[in-house]
């Protein structure tokens, strides 16, 4: 007699929970889509050929573009990645595969601390260390960004590698494969999707950083002129342009925002296509 009642009650509970989950999903997606909508809507008017081939216009000049900022951003992110990815990868591997080593406790501690440090402070640190000796430069900015990158890469690599079961490692070791080869060819290979995703997230993160870039490189209106000189930067463009009183700079700020989002999206999609289709 009572069973059908319980079943109905359960059914209702199930529906209610279902509804709640969808509601919160919608709630989470609303800001995301409104940002995307706003950026696309306001950014599109800024997009034309000049936007992609011309550098920052001088004050009062009509038109102009962000080509120099795209160039500078790619170079700066590239250099930061060249430093940050190997270091993060190595420490992630170390934490996951050699966790019994005494050093790993220390590395994990500093890594946790580092990931909690506000990025502006990392910028100031890079300023003290590099800007004061060689000046505002791509090197200084890339250094700051790589330090922001390292804990993110380390953490995600460690987590990704730990998902590979111990018995997979043992299978390789039992075949007479040296430990480091096991780590590289079996563990890292098995976890490569998660590892690549982690690296992408860290790149996306530093692509949008403006505070540490401001402190280490400053604003630069011209083309890239060397690693020991500043370079233009998309995130910083948004910050500087948006606060300026000049109409065409504000339009360029929206355009830069759109490009930045597309850049991050593009990197994501490109790598996803690249790693897809392999089991």
Residues forming contacts to another protein in the complex (CB under 8 A) are 100, 164-165, 167-168, 170-178, 181-182, 185-186, 189-190, 192, 278-279
Rounded to a whole number of angstroms, the minimum distance from the CB of residue 185 to another protein is 5
Nearer to another protein, 82 or 185 (CB): 185
How far is Cα of residue 34 from the mean position of the Cα atoms in its chain? Answer: 21
The two structure tokens encoding residue 199: 């690296």
Which run of H or of E encompasses 168? helix 166-174
How near is the Cβ of 175 to another protein at its closest, in Å? 4
b vs e for 97-129, b when ≥16 Cβ sit within 10 Å of the residue's Cβ?
beeeeeebeebbeebeeeeeeebeebbbbbbee
Torsion-angle region of residue 63: left (phi > 0), alpha (psi -120 to 50) or beta? left
Q: Which residue's CB is nearer to another protein, number 186 or number 232?
A: 186
Q: Which is nearer to another protein, 165 or 226 (CB)?
A: 165
| Least distance in angstroms from the C-beta of 111 to another protein | 21
Q: Min. distance of Cβ 229 from another protein in angstroms?
A: 43
Smallest separation, CB 156 to another protein (Å): 18
Taking the CA atoms of 124, 130, 131 and 136 in sequence, report the sign of the dihedral they define. negative
Closer of 135 and 190 to another protein (Cβ):
190
The minimum distance between CB 272 and another protein, in angstroms, equals 16
Neighbours of 163 (CB within 10 A): 11
Q: How far is CA 246 from the centre of its chain?
A: 30
Q: Considering the complex, state which of residue 62 and residue 278 has its C-beta at the smaller distance from another protein.
A: 278
Q: Check: CB of residue 130 under 8 Å from CB of residue 140.
A: yes
In the complex with another protein, which residue's Cβ is closer, 29 or 185?
A: 185
Of 116 and 277, nearer to another protein (C-beta) is 277
DSSP structure string for 54-106:
S-PPPTT-----SHHHHHHHHHHHHHHHHHHHHHHHHHHHHHHHSTTSHHHHH
Query: Biggest alpha carbon distance in the chain?
Result: 84
CB of 179 to another protein, least distance (A): 9
């Amino acid at each position: 007699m009572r069973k059908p009642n319980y079943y109905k009650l359960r059914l209702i509970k199930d529906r209610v929970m279902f509804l709640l989950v969808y509601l919160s999903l919608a709630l989470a997606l609303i800001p995301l889509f409104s940002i995307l909508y706003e950026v696309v809507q306001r950014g599109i008017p800024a997009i034309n050929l000049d936007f992609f081939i011309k550098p920052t216009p001088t004050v009062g000049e009509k038109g102009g573009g962000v080509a120099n900022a795209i160039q500078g951003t790619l170079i700066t992110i590239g250099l930061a990645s060249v430093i940050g990815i190997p270091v993060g990868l190595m420490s992630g591997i170390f934490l996951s595969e050699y966790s019994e080593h005494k050093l790993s406790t220390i590395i994990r501690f500093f890594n946790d601390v580092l990931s909690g440090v506000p990025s502006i402070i990392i910028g100031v640190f890079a300023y003290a260390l590099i800007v004061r000796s060689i000046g505002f430069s791509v090197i200084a900015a890339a250094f700051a960004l790589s330090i922001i990158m390292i804990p993110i890469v380390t953490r995600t690599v460690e987590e990704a590698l730990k998902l590979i079961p111990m018995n997979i490692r043992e299978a390789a070791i039992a075949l007479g494969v040296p430990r480091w080869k096991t780590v590289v060819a079996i563990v890292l290979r098995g976890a490569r999707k998660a590892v690549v995703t982690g690296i992408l997230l860290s790149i996306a993160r530093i692509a949008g950083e403006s505070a540490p870039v401001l402190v280490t490189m400053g604003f630069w209106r011209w083309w890239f002129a060397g690693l020991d000189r500043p370079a233009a930067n998309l995130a910083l463009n948004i910050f500087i342009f948006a606060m300026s009183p000049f109409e065409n700079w504000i339009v360029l700020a929206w355009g830069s925002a759109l490009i930045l989002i597309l850049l991050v999206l593009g990197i994501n999609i490109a790598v996803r296509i690249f790693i897809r289709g392999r089991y």
